[in-house]
A and B are shown apart, each in its own frame.
Chain A
Amino acid sequence: MDALIPLFVAIPLISAFLIMLLGKLVKGFHRYFAPLTLLALLVMAVYEFSGLGTSSIQYTMGGWAYEGGFPVGIFMVLDGFSALMLCIINLIGFIALFYSLSYIRKYTAEGNYYALFCLIIAGMNGVVLSGDLFNLFVFLEVSVISSYALVAFGVGKTELEASFKYQVLGGLASMLILLAIGLIYWKTKTLNIADVRNVLDSGYSKPFYIFIQVLLISGFGLKAAIIPFHAWLPDAHSSAPSPISAMLSGVLIKAVGIYVLIRLFFNMFVFSHEIAVVITVLGTVSMVIGALLALIQWDVKRLLAYSSISQIGLVVMAFGMGMILLAKGDNLPVASLAIAGGLYHLVNHAVFKGLLFLNAGALEHRLDTRDLKKMGGLAPVMPVTSSTSFMASMSISGIPPFNGFFSKLIIIIAAINGKFYLLATLAVVVSIVTLAYFLKFQRFAFFNKSPGKSLEKIKEVPFPMSFSMVFLAILCLALSLLAFPSINDAVLRPAINVLMQSDLYSTTILGL
């Protein structure tokens, strides 16, 4: 079981370069090989996740573990939280790749697309598995640099502009993160996350670490598009090819943004009340403003991109509330509930936002437009797209019995129990606003009268695309089962434990 961990990075890496080599010789090689790779990774991720439970596995590169009590080697750590993220990454990755089989045919250079897709997966798997700050940075760069290329894949004017904007802001974020990592290395003389925690436990100068934490919040905030740092996201996510938008919005901003932020602030730094408040405020602001900005969009994918900002804000807010309660040290059950809600919504958002971007891709594939004003009356001619997008819209707006309802309910209950009455009210209001803009999407795309254009020529999308959409729609319903305590315990509890007992991560790795 140990030997599987580095394969999560090695397999997509090998397959990316095999596609580059053999794709030129064997016709259609990439079309079969890339989905098989992702399927294998998905099976491996589910296998690891099911066998793991609440334990955690450490893997040391090259067999270098400890020299004189210090961890000198590069660690890879698989615990509940990273196993959950691995499952999401590889699941959404496989679905998006399967969808691409027919979607990406209209572009040239298909081989490059599949190779870059495998590289994104390799980078993200590396980020969630890495137990070492510098390696985390390297894997982060692997995934975001391939995403720069994929955003510009259409090589039109808007795509290149969006990609350039994304590169400039992404480069800025990477610089801030690298600076913070350098400062941590300077003070603690180690890059191992667990060992940094160990050093911090034995005393630290607070102002210096507040500075590092602010750098990290800005850096990973830029990657996760929390609101003062969100400017690149609506352009990048709306001009990428749709499966890539689903990957970026559904998984990438979570794996390289939220996951790392949560991992570092829960398991590496000692909680401080000020930073927890900053994170909560940032989350709340992006939740509210993202929803209001989404309301006025007429471009389908821009609407979805702003909605991503809003939903990510909700997730960050939930984790922030958990951090405030944990920093105070009282009311731990409520903190656990807030973190559970945040994690649950993280999983749900990956599924329904991935589905919504795939729906938008189906519309774009058949109509060649993303403008809501030019659509209408598509429900009879595209039944699969229409029904799946209706399910996803209801799910993201928090209508029972879909999964979004339960995760939002848990977050709101946690906010009320933790006496964050303002945040609970705002979460409810934002949920109503979300319902408003998704009803707008439904009405103008599927139920309004058609703007004069004949609809006879428009057909339902081909099988790979409709299969992916139906699969994710079923998952939207199935994930609401996680609201049951027993299933919740089995799936989310290991991840919640990692975050609640924040010392556990460092002590198990260092074997203290």
Chain B
Amino acid sequence: MEGMSTIVKKITQLMAGLIFLYGIYIILHGHLTPGGGFAGGAIIAGAFILLILAFGNSALNLKKEVAGSSNIESVAILMVTILAMMALLFGIKVFFFNFLPKGTPGELLSAGAIPLYNIFIGIEVAGAILTIFLALVIFKEESSK
């Protein structure tokens, strides 16, 4: 896949970092403001997709990338299930038990384990959307040959 013009590349360079940071912001404030893991993960995946579209890449490199993103996705979802089952290890027979201290409502570090869930769900969603996008791009590259 070929890249786009210099103007697009330059603007993307400026914007991609900001979009990435905004995604992280949405994920970290998931328990305080609207949004959360899913929305933030989609934004982070958007930053990567923007970079790939603007700069282009060969199908071979993209294949390496897709292996990485699908691995990250699997690890993240495993972490979510392990977090959910963590309380079983402590002897409390409750799935999705909020085992961390709750803190004061409204603070960034509050709500116990929920920010952790948000972070892993964010990674999972970003990985999944990126994997789907890369699979489509690789399919198009290979079928156009």
Contacts and interface: CB of A to CB of B under 8 A. Distances in A.
A3 B94 CA distance: 7
B74 A21 contact: yes
A21 B98 CA distance: 27
A61 B96 contact: yes
Given A10-B81, A63-B97, A21 B88 contact: no
A13 B82 CA distance: 11
B112 to A, nearest CB: 10
Nearest to A4: B93
Contacts of A14: 78, 81-82
A61 B95 CA distance: 6
Interface in B85-113: 85, 88, 93-98
A20 interface: yes
A106 to B, nearest CB: 23
B74 A10 contact: no
Contacts of A6: 95
Contacts of A21: 71, 74-75, 78
B70 A20 contact: yes
A18 interface: yes
A62 B74 contact: no
On chain B, which size bracket covers the interface?
A: 10 to 19
B93 A3 contact: yes
Interface string A1-45: 011001000100110011011001000000000000000000000
Nearest to A18: B78
Nearest to A61: B96
B77 interface: yes
Contacts of B84: 10
Nearest to A19: B74
Contacts of B75: 21
A15 B107 CA distance: 36
B78 A10 contact: no
Contacts of A17: 74, 77-78, 81
Contacts of A18: 74, 78
Contacts of B78: 14, 17-18, 21
A62 B97 contact: yes
Contacts of A59: 95
Contact of A62 (B70, B71, B77, B94): B94
Contacts of B98: 62
A457 B95 CA distance: 55
B93 A2 contact: yes
A20 B96 contact: no
Contact of B85 (A10, A20, A62): A10
Interface string B66-82: 00001100110110011
Contacts of A63: 94, 97
A143 B70 CA distance: 20
Candidate in B74, B75, B85 with the most chain A CB atoms within 10 angstroms: B74
Given A20-B70, A21-B71, A21-B74, A13 B81 contact: yes
Nearest to A59: B95
A24 B67 CA distance: 10
Contact of A10 (B70, B93, B95, B97): B95
A5 to B, nearest CB: 8
Contacts of B94: 61-63
18 contacts: A2-B93, A3-B88, A3-B93, A3-B95, A6-B95, A10-B81, A10-B84, A10-B95, A17-B77, A20-B70, A20-B71, A21-B74, A21-B75, A24-B71, A59-B95, A61-B94, A62-B96, A62-B97
**5 closest residue pairs by CB, A with B:** A3-B93, A6-B95, A62-B96, A17-B74, A20-B74
Given A17-B74, A20-B70, A62-B94, 13 more contacts: A2-B93, A3-B88, A10-B81, A10-B95, A13-B77, A14-B82, A18-B74, A21-B71, A21-B78, A61-B95, A61-B96, A62-B97, A63-B97
